[in-house]
Amino acid sequence: MKITLHHAHEARSMRVLWLLEELGLPYELQVYDFFDKSLRSDSYLALHPAGRVPAVEIDGQVMLESGAIVEYLAERCADMGLGRAPQSDERMAYLDLLHYGETLGQHLANLTQAHIVLYEPWMRSPTQMGLETKRLAKVLGRLEQLLSDGRDYLLASGFSAADVAVGYGIWLAPRFVHLDALPHVAAYRARLITRPAFAKALPPEGARRIYTQAFYEVPNV
Amino acid sequence: MTTSKPTLHSIAGSRSFRVLWLLCELGVDVDLVDYQITDGSLQQDGFKALSPARRVPALEIDGITLVESGAMVQYLCETRADHSLMPAVGNEERAEWLQWLHYAETLGTGIQNLNMQHLFLPDPAMRSIPVMGIETKRLAIALKALEARLADGRAYLLASGFSAADVMMGFTVWAAAHYVDFAAFPNLTAYQDRLAARAAYQQAQALEGVQQFYTRDFYALPEV
């Protein structure tokens, strides 16, 4: 497979970068700055009409949507064991958690927009920010429950592409929600971020990042 | 694996419509349990045990509960026979099908955000007009990409014909029309009409009852 990944540091495209590293696939990386207009250039919009990352070219075919790309790569590299095939007992849980990655991701995207992209306080809705934070905590609560039987990863049989889909959000979550009340999630996060493939998906030293504060507090209304 | 009758926990007008519609397309009988957004029924312990984040849909099927509509759609396609709603693993349309399936939820997120601002924040002071503007614009851009896809005259998202990706997207397109004017999207309008004319779509609508979200056909952005 010839793969080119279009990526912005710390954005959802991290999922794809991380998975490519887990799968040991060769790829070419094109990095865009999240804050300048490079994702709005005509050449990028021809690839991704909404100007978002990721876009990935796989043997000349363009794919958008990190969840779809993660599923597809796991299917194409079935022998690496990161997917769960349709006949597997874990198929339902695998699919449910893979999609749950974006249920988690959308709250993080909304909070990122409110705290970071809308830099002027008048542009924000503290009510919305509060609600999104609460919903994020609830979504994490389901994972806390799932992990409380002591499993290392989301599926009892071990690490899978669902951990990549969800793990991106888990890595990001403590910037918006304290994990003190979610000890299993915190331990799971520690386990994910020490994986060598995850470390390779992080921005290099000195690169411009989306997230510069350790914690983003909801403003008082 | 048991294939007893599934139970769908739903709110009329929510993402659960996708699952109900697909069940109708597949001819699978289902027990429907209705909830209301505002009467506290989602907060009851019984529902929390099924869906810990207290969201619909939740589908009890084959001895497990799923909470993601996209996962339900995939699972039903994989386990229920005699249909052509999903290109199999390895099929040349597989990547595209997966992409549209997930893309429907990118649009779904935008709609959910607009629902929150327009429908569920009762006091205008609680809203953020820039957020409403950005979300509306993003939704329009995402719809424009769909319009472009349909411009080659295809009837459905995949060139080979109707699939479960259309079921995921059809709900989204219906909801999006409450926030984005479709006048500039003739292909999308025709696509929406084509979907709504399907017998299974109408059957699902009748089963679901009156949608609980929108009291108007269109919600314009507030004047600044």
Per-residue pLDDT of B136-176, as tens digits, reads 999 999 999 999 999 999 999 999 999 999 999 999 999 99
Indicate yes or no: CB of A95 within 8 angstroms of CB of B68: yes
How far is it, in rounded angstroms, from Cα A112 to Cα A121?
A: 14
Of A50, A80, A110, which one is at a domain's C-terminal end?
Answer: A80
A139 and A174 in a single domain? The answer is yes
Predicted pLDDT of residue B38? 81
DSSP 8-state assignment for residue B161 = B
Q: Are strands B31-34 and B7-10 parallel, antiparallel or unpaired?
A: parallel
B205 within domain boundaries: no
Number of domains in chain A: 2
Is residue A151 in a domain? yes
Residue B221, in any domain of the structure? no
Interchain pair B53, A96: CB under 8 A: no
pLDDT at B53 over 90: no
> Is residue A216 domain-resident?
no
State residue A221's pLDDT score. Answer: 64
* In a shared domain, residues A166 and A106: yes
pLDDT score of A185 more than 80 = yes
The tokens for B43 are 């907060």
* pLDDT interval class at B191 (50, 70, 90): very high
The CATH number covering residue B72 comes to: 3.40.30.10
The residue-averaged pLDDT of B30-54 equals: 89
Q: Is the pLDDT of residue B205 over 80?
A: yes
User: Do A73 and A41 share a structural domain?
Assistant: yes
> Do the domain assignments include residue B104?
yes
Is there a single domain that holds both residue A196 and residue A95?
A: yes
Same domain, A61 and A119: no
Q: Does one domain contain both B22 and B101?
A: no
Residue A80 Cα, gap to closest chain B Cα (Å): 16
Mean pLDDT along residues A45-67: 95
Domain residues for A70?
Answer: 3-80
Question: Closest Cα partner for B113 from A14, A219, A135, A175?
Answer: A135
Decide if B113 is inside a domain.
yes
Residues A192 and A105 in one domain: yes
Nearest CA in chain A to B89: A75
Contact A65 B70 (CB under 8 A): no
Domain-embedded: residue A32: yes
Please, what is the end-to-end C-alpha distance for chain A in angstroms? 52
Residues B104 and B66 in one domain: no
What b/e string do you get for B116-151 counting C-beta neighbours within 10 Å, with b at 16 or more?
bbbbebeeeebbbbbbbebbbebbbbbbbebbebbe
Q: What pLDDT sits at residue A96?
A: 97
The domain boundary, picked from A80, A106, A122, lies at: A80
Judgement on whether residues B69 and B110 belong to the same structural domain of the protein: no
Same domain, B16 and B61: yes
Instruction: Give domain status of residue B203, yes or no.
Output: no
> Is A59 within a domain?
yes
Tell me how far apart the alpha carbons of residues A143 and B208 are, in angstroms, rounded to a whole number: 30
Q: Are residues A117 and A29 in the same domain?
A: no
User: Total domain count for chain B?
Assistant: 2
Q: Cα separation of A212 and A214, whole Å?
A: 7
Write the CATH number for B148: 1.20.1050.10
Residue A186: pLDDT over 70: yes
- Asked, for residue A218, whether it belongs to a domain, the answer is no
Cα angle value B29/B30/B35 (rounded, 5°)? 155
Mark which of B27, B44, B79 sits at the end of a domain: B79
In a domain, A213, yes or no: no
pLDDT, one tens digit per residue, over A83-123 is 999 999 999 999 999 999 999 999 999 999 999 999 888 99
The verdict on B43 and B137 lying in the same domain is no
Q: What is the pLDDT of residues B58-73, one digit of tens each?
A: 999 999 999 999 999 9
Q: Strands, DSSP E only, in chain B?
A: 7-10, 31-34, 58-61, 64-66
Q: What is the mean pLDDT of residues A49-68?
A: 95
- The nearest CA of chain B is from the CA of A27 a distance in Å of 18
Q: What band does A143 get if pLDDT is binned at 50, 70 and 90?
A: very high
* Same domain (yes/no): B36, B74: yes
Q: What is the mean pLDDT of residues B73-85?
A: 95
CA distance A38 to A34: 8
Verify that A97 and A75 share a domain, yes or no: no
Q: Which of B32, B55, B79 is the last residue of a domain?
A: B79
**pLDDT tens track for A37-55:** 999 999 999 999 999 999 9
Look up the ipTM and state it: 0.94
Structural contact between residues A148 and A187, judged by C-beta atoms closer than 8 angstroms: no
Q: Where does a domain end: A31, A47, A80?
A: A80
Residues A102 and A195 in one domain: yes
pLDDT at site A135: 96
Please provide the average confidence, as pLDDT, over all residues in chain A.
96
Query: Do residues B118 and B187 both lie within one domain?
Result: yes
Task: Kindly state the average pLDDT of the residues A153-172.
Answer: 98
Here the CATH number for the domain that contains residue A73 is 3.40.30.10
Q: How many CB atoms lie within 10 A of CB A80?
A: 15
Residues B21 and B59 in one domain: yes
Same domain, B115 and B144: yes
Range of B168's domain?
Answer: 94-198
pLDDT tens for B207-217 read: 999 999 999 99
**Any domain includes A64:** yes
pLDDT, position B124: 87
Give which of A3, A40, A92, A122 to mutate to test B binding, by max B Cβ within 10 Å.
A92
What percentage of residues in chain B have a pLDDT greater than 70?
A: 98
Same domain as B101, residue B151: yes
Q: Give which of B89, B107, B123 to mutate to test A binding, by max A Cβ within 10 Å.
A: B89
Residues A50 and A11 in one domain: yes
Q: What is the 3-state secondary structure (H, E, C) of A60-126?
A: CEEEECHHHHHHHHHHHCHHHCCCCCCCCCCHHHHHHHHHHHHHHHHHHHHHHHHHHHCCCHHHCCH
pLDDT, position B41:
86
pLDDT digits (tens, 9 = 90+) for A201-215: 999 999 999 999 999
Query: Last residue of a domain, which of B47, B79, B111?
Result: B79
Residues of A with a Cβ under 8 Å from any B Cβ are 49-51, 58, 61, 63-68, 71-72, 75, 85-86, 91-93, 95-96, 98-100, 102-103, 106, 109-110, 113-114, 118, 123-125, 127-128, 131, 135, 138-139, 141-142, 145
Which one of A71, A75, A138 has the shortest CB-CB distance to B54?
A: A138
Instruction: Report if residue A76 sits inside a domain.
Output: yes
Residues A186 and A96 in one domain: yes
Q: Do residues A162 and A115 both lie within one domain?
A: yes
Give the containing element (helix H, strand E) for B171.
helix B164-176
Q: Is residue B70 part of a domain?
A: yes
The closest of A155, A157, A158, A182 to A170, measured between CA atoms, is A182
Q: Is residue B41 part of a domain?
A: yes
Is B223 part of any domain?
Answer: no
CATH number of the domain within which A191 lies: 1.20.1050.10
- Evaluated on CA atoms B36, B37, B40, B45, the torsion sign reads positive
Same domain, B63 and B109: no
* Residues B52, B113 share a domain: no
